[in-house]
């Protein structure tokens, strides 16, 4: 599941900080964040607790089975429903507001041979984790 941080900040009870607590973002091996998005992981789309997100303030249209605040991305890059703020390929998803520098870094990773990515991971550098700006 990919969630727009702007929606969390504006709508989610307790905002971004509470969302991080609720989904154990700093501690989780699966749930991640970058500067614009949160990513929550499950094995199957039907395992996400959409009712909990709704009860905390995020939108979801039960009749249309979609939201403008979040979407679900299948493992190989297809979206369950489109949202206007998200771009994606088969490896990464990114917000339209993502900086060109980070997009360039992501594109470089996507062009790397799998063996090089695996070597980086063996050295403790997981190139497939959320790519973030380094704030100085």
Q: How confident is the prediction along the chain (136 residues), in pLDDT tens digits per residue? A: 999 999 999 999 999 999 999 999 988 888 999 999 999 999 888 899 999 999 999 999 999 999 999 999 886 668 999 999 999 887 888 999 999 988 898 899 989 999 999 999 899 888 877 766 433 2
CA distance 108 to 134: 17
Q: What is the pTM assigned to this prediction? A: 0.85
100-133 exposure pattern, b = at least 16 Cβ within 10 A, e = fewer: eebeeebeebeeeeeeebeeeeeeeeebeeebee
């Amino acid at each position: 599941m990919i969630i727009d941080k702007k929606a969390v900040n504006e709508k989610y009870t307790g905002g971004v900080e509470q969302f991080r607590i609720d989904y154990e973002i700093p501690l989780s091996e699966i749930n991640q964040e970058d500067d614009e998005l949160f990513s929550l992981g499950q094995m199957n789309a039907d395992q996400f607790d959409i009712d909990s997100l709704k009860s905390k303030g995020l939108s979801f249209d039960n009749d249309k089975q979609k939201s403008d605040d979040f979407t679900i991305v299948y493992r190989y890059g297809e979206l369950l429903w489109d949202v206007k703020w998200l771009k994606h390929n088969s490896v990464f998803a990114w917000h339209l507001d993502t900086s060109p520098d980070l997009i360039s870094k992501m594109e470089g990773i996507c062009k790397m041979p799998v063996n090089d990515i695996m070597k980086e991971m063996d050295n403790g550098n997981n190139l497939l984790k959320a790519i973030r700006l380094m704030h100085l």
